[in-house]
Amino acid sequence: MAAQSGGRRVISPLPDDPVREDERARLLAQTEFRAPLVLEAGAGTGKTTALVARIVVWLLGEGWVRAASHLARTATEGEPTRDERVAARAVCRVVAITFTEAAAAEMSMRVGEALHRIALGHDLPEGVAASLLPPPAERMRRAAALDDVLDQLVVRTIHAFCRRLLVAHPLEAGIHPRFEVDADLRTRDEVVRECVEVALKEGYGTSGNPAYLELARLGKGPAELAEALAALVDAGVSPDALSEDPVAPARIQALQASLVEAIERFRQADRGRLAQLARGVKSQAVVGLLDETLGRANALGGGSSKELESFVAWAREVWPGALGRVMSWAQTSGGFNHGERAALGEDQAAVRGAAQALLPLLRHLIALDPALFEAARRALDPLLRKAHEQMRARGAVTYSALLREARDLLVRHPEVAASVRLGIDQLLVDEFQDTDQLQCDVIRALALRGERGDRPGLFLVGDPKQSIFGWRSADLAAYDGFVDEVKASAGTVQRLCVNYRSTPRILQEVDRVIEPLMKECRGVQPRFQRLIASPKRSSSPGFESGRFAAVEHWVPSAFDPVSRAPCETTAREAREIEAAQLARDLVELHHRHGVAWPRIAVLLRSLVEVDVYLDALRAAGVPYDVTVDRSYYQRREIIDASALVRCVLDPTDHLALLSYLRSPGVGVPDAALIPLWTRGFPARVTALADDTREAAQEGLARCMADAAAALPDDVPGIERIAGWEASLEAAVGQLGALRASFENDPVDVFVERLRTTTLIEATESARTLGHYRVANLDRFFRKLAETLQERGDRAALLRALRADLAASREADEGQSSPASLDAVSILSIHRAKGLDFDHVYLLDLHKGAPRREEEKTELAFHEGRWELCLFGAPSLGFHAVRTEREIREAAERVRTLYVAMTRARERLVLAGLRSPFTASAAEKSHARLLEGRGGEPVDLTALAREAVERGAGFVDASQARWVFPQLLTDSGAAAKRADGDSDAAFDPSAILAESRQLDGKRSEAARYAARPIRGPASAQAHEALRELFETSEGPEPDRLGGAEGRWPEHPVPRAVGTAVHRALEQMDFKAEPVQELERLERVMHSAVAGVVPQALLEPTLARARELLRRFAGGPLYARLRRHADQIVARELPVLLPPLDREDGPVGFVTGAIDLVYRDPCTNELVVADYKTDDVPLPEDRQARVRAYAEQGRIYVHAVREALGLPRPPRFELWFLGLGQIETVPIEGGVRILSA
């Protein structure tokens, strides 16, 4: 470990002769075939090469001899032993287990290539010791025979291996003889959906189930129930786990004991000093609160559930506001204020440790919700039992159940384990550091149990320093426990430390950064081991040229333009600085130094903020390939889009209906679900797909109105989503139309209607990270169209949607491969494992850990029992799970940094905002870890000052280059402005001019910030109309369209326009007119009910009915009936970038085009806008034409751009009451605000 010497961290020396130890380990891997052997292969040391070499040497040597001996013993007298039979037996008795399909394929391929080379007499493959092989002629003969039967080599993932075990022994395992692995989770989803839907009929029915109703009251509806049930089924939770009393006295007493112990420990460490601070009011209050919490906790001695509920209610009331102080005390650096530091003195570490142990318990106490947990348990218990029965009856096994069933088979039936064991000579396991307890149990039953003479040779390869998949159940405690058993079984542990990938400077930086952090802790963190550059790499300096160095630390701090002092910088600003420098760097590397794009990688902790970097690369013309992470399929917008498609394609999928109704595009409140369901809403929506669609729509309208009326007024937050029933009505109508479109329209038309009718993309674009969400949706709809074109039918598309979700899980387990495109690779650190690149940029290192979903269902098997968190409500012992998880995540954070740094071959860049240039560096960030870097101490403030003085933008110190990208940008700009003029004095007049210019820009920025984000396309037209109305001197008050002398923005004219527009949008021009008008009167009533005051409702509807009848009796209606087939779109939504207007919106412009049709005479498109105003005078209509010209330009521009028309379509105003059309001349285009 790192030691301290005179203020300088000293890196501990290497063990004696590590190179010889490495050679000995590689040799042992090819000679020790009986005793178990664990090979811990550090990053870049060639673990796959060692695995392949072991298999090749075994097959050509002892494995061949053993197979030939067996065949000779069992052959009939005089029968020759042919090479192909020997080869087949030797090969089929080697079993290699990997953890991904990609790794299995690579190992098979490399073994095949090695044997093929040997069979042809070529040089031996890398790593294979010639002294361990037969003479050349003999090994060529054997290799040729082995090459012919290599398809019998068993290289499988752990799941595939376990599946074969169960297929061979279904009766012993107690599973369906023809069971299927539910790889795409289709069966699980069907079972969960059916179980929940059956339960809903009872739970939300007339009698009602108290558990479901209580959950609904707490905001947990059917969708959340289905999600929780799926999580429980996936994890293989036994139904009995939900039968236990969650607040049994013993469990309450255990929680009480933990809380009392933690508070007492804190009090002992503090010894009353924080309570005595003269000016520490907050500290005194928190200590006093701890004393009261201790007293109340001690009162829980009897373990009463009522007492617990009272205690929790009190804690949830008083502790949330006080918890921040305890969080500060628990911080690993800082945290204590000046008075606290002075009072605690040398005991700060003890108090910090006590606060760190206390904090999780206090958080747990606040999170407890016994009522919610009990309701969830009672609701899920029967559902889980039914789901287990259904999964077994259908012969479906999930991946997690597959491992568990295989483990139970081998443990409970030793005879089965013995028979499997006797069929294996060599068992090899790759990436063993990513194993979990179940997988260890399977390997243990085969290789460490039974008679020693019957056990196969066991070879485990892994590197605990690269165990970074804890969120996927990788468990270093299971790894350490298994290694101990290997040693107890006369096995050995060997280590590889010679690195064939990176240059010495990169490996030395890994030592400086990682060794002080990677402190050995059994089951949590392995011992750090330094890597040694291979002889071929030992003299390489790495990439050193000009301003490029082999190891660079970028500090993306902003600098004051005048004082040149570093400024406090936000995380977003730091990303933008990093992105700009990255783009400049890559352009120079490629164009000046000839570095190929695929040799460069950008690694990020996650891809959430990737757009900042992609925008910079796109602007610089740098090609990139973003490796998709699994979270794409778990993003909210993709889940909502998938639910929409499932609603359209499968009218009986009521869970998909629930998801869609609760999506941002519809926004039905949870409180409305029970009123809707009890009134038969799902069945009515299903009926939209059959021949009774019109009757179903009428029933739905009554159902929705009744449900809205039944909704209590005191539902919290209901006022924020007023009008949800109108959104629901529109969504239901869209579903019916989309189902008809799927049946009747071409694929491209159907998909386009999905996108435009629901406005899902426009809705998501207005949310946080809208640009990223829209890009995700565009990809989703393109994939949807491709699937429909390829497969065509409804069932195939539904299967494809489920397969996409399954692909996300497989991608989760699959190993990335370098991009085949001529582009820079951009990927997450986890996806980069197993890869390497010449230039590696680790960016955004100041990003903290992602926040966990507070209401997510979580579970863990801890100390012999399931601990659960249902809908955010934890079981009493769940705090232990969270505490253990936080410890493991902190350790894994160090290992992910190690993995990321060891991907680099020639050059490594670490970029992230660090103290003192940020007010609050994320506690759980990699940048915080870099502050513990070993070697010569680094003062970043001093380095920044030196970089400013030198004018170079970087400084070399502590065996690395420290780069300040903002200074590089400024120095580059200065160099372009004046060559050799860096020593010139400041010009006061120039400074004054720049100050005035800056003041002008500040005023301009303030005006820009005051502008709205969005605006309607009709904004300028309304301004013009208002001016016309105000300046009119005509005798008639209604002359310019106002109702009874009112400006048209009065509620009545607006509502009349809304009603008539809605009617024309839904009008069936081929229907019988009288009946159609009667139907549309109901549509208009629905459109304005709740929009205008009740007193104005009837006058509004009267004017709307009159206007609609005048329209129906006039020439415009007749025109539309004649040319109904020429109608292209009605109420076409428009979304445009902002217009170049000083007072216009800065985000986007929206609108809806009333009508787009094709002129039957010219076959050209026409854009029409309906006008409900009564303007009989020609001069007044011409005034309207001039006023609406700008709106027309916007609509015409949108249609022309969207459809790629050679010239703009015609724009018309249709005055509905007069039956007249006015053509609006469109001159010039629309100026879009430049980015």
Q: What is the pLDDT of residue 1037?
A: 38
Q: Which of 64-78, 415-429, 815-829, 858-872 has the highest mean pLDDT?
A: 415-429
Q: Which of 198-202, 633-637, 943-947 has the highest mean pLDDT?
A: 943-947
Question: Please, which pLDDT band fits residue 530 given cuts at 50, 70 and 90?
Answer: very high
Would the pLDDT of 806 be above 70? no
Residue percentage of the chain with pLDDT more than 70: 88
Q: Which residues are paired to 5 by β-bridges?
A: 8
Helix (H), strand (E) at residue 588: helix 571-593
For every residue of 281-307, DSSP letters joined together read: HHHHHHHHHHHHHHHHHHTTTT--HHH
Q: What is the pLDDT of residue 772?
A: 65
Would the pLDDT of 1036 be above 50? no
Lowest mean pLDDT among 561-575, 787-801, 1037-1051, 1108-1122: 1037-1051
Q: What is the pLDDT of residue 927?
A: 92
Q: Which residue has the higher pLDDT, 1007 or 206?
A: 1007
Question: Please, which pLDDT band fits residue 1084 given cuts at 50, 70 and 90?
Answer: confident
Rounded-to-integer distance, Cα 386 and Cα 388, Å: 5
Would the pLDDT of 1076 be above 70? yes
Q: Which residue has the higher pLDDT, 369 or 1023?
A: 369
Rounded-to-integer distance, Cα 399 and Cα 437, Å: 15
Q: Which residue has the higher pLDDT, 695 or 441?
A: 441
Question: Please, which pLDDT band fits residue 458 given cuts at 50, 70 and 90?
Answer: very high
Q: What is the pLDDT of residue 805?
A: 54
> In degrees rounded to 5, what are phi and psi of residue 1129?
-160, 150
Question: Please, which pLDDT band fits residue 810 given cuts at 50, 70 and 90?
Answer: very low
Nearest to 513 by CA among 17, 5, 960: 960
Would the pLDDT of 721 be above 90? no
Buried b (16+ CB within 10 A) or exposed e, 282-297: ebeebbebbeebbebb
Would the pLDDT of 148 be above 60? yes
Would the pLDDT of 854 be above 70? no
Would the pLDDT of 1022 be above 80? no
Residue percentage of the chain with pLDDT more than 90: 39
Q: What is the pLDDT of residue 769?
A: 59
Domains of the chain, earliest start first: 24-173+424-498 (3.40.50.300), 249-372 (1.20.120), 501-627+816-848+895-975 (3.40.50.300), 631-803 (1.10.486.10), 1014-1224 (3.90.320)
Burial class (CB in 10 A: 0-12, 13-18, 19+), 982: exposed
CA atoms within 13 A on the CB side of 330: 17
- Residues 1193-1203 have a mean pLDDT of 89
Q: What is the pLDDT of residue 975?
A: 47
Nearest to 883 by CA among 864, 867, 894, 899: 867
Would the pLDDT of 1230 be above 70? no
Q: What is the pLDDT of residue 134?
A: 94
Residue linked to tokens 């970043």: 940
Q: What is the pLDDT of residue 685?
A: 86
Q: Which residue has the higher pLDDT, 203 or 337?
A: 337
Rounded-to-integer distance, Cα 560 and Cα 566, Å: 6
Rounded-to-integer distance, Cα 1082 and Cα 1072, Å: 16
Structure tokens at 269: 């460490």
Q: Which of 103-117, 654-668, 799-813, 851-865 has the highest mean pLDDT?
A: 103-117
Buried b (16+ CB within 10 A) or exposed e, 607-627: bebbbbbbbbbeeeebebbbb
Would the pLDDT of 1039 be above 70? no
Question: Please, which pLDDT band fits residue 1035 given cuts at 50, 70 and 90?
Answer: very low
Helices (H), 45-157: 47-60, 62-74, 83-92, 101-119, 136-148
pLDDT, tens digit (0-9, with 9 covering 90-100), for 317-365: 999 888 888 988 988 766 788 888 888 888 888 999 999 999 999 999 9
Would the pLDDT of 166 be above 90? yes
Rounded-to-integer distance, Cα 930 and Cα 912, Å: 9
Q: What is the pLDDT of residue 1235?
A: 34
Q: Which of 76-80, 303-307, 904-908, 918-922 has the highest mean pLDDT?
A: 904-908
Rounded-to-integer distance, Cα 808 and Cα 630, Å: 5
Model confidence pTM above 0.75: no
Cβ atoms of residues 1214 and 1153 within 8 Å: no
For every residue of 747-810, DSSP letters joined together read: HHHHHHHHHHHS-HHHHHHTSTTHHHHHHHHHHHHHHHHHHHHHH-SHHHHHHHHHHHHHHHHH
- Residues 724-743 have a mean pLDDT of 87
Q: Look up residue 1134 and give its DSSP letter.
A: E
Q: Which of 216-230, 392-406, 591-605 has the highest mean pLDDT?
A: 591-605
pLDDT, tens digit (0-9, with 9 covering 90-100), for 598-655: 999 999 998 888 889 998 998 999 998 887 544 556 677 888 888 898 888 888 888 7
Q: Mean pLDDT score of the chain, rounded to an integer?
A: 84
pLDDT, tens digit (0-9, with 9 covering 90-100), for 1159-1183: 988 889 999 999 988 888 888 888 8
Would the pLDDT of 982 be above 50? no
Q: Which residue has the higher pLDDT, 857 or 1129?
A: 1129
Nearest to 185 by CA among 799, 744, 792, 597: 799
Q: Residue 559 in 3-state DSSP?
A: strand
Buried b (16+ CB within 10 A) or exposed e, 372-387: bbbbbbbbbbebbbbb
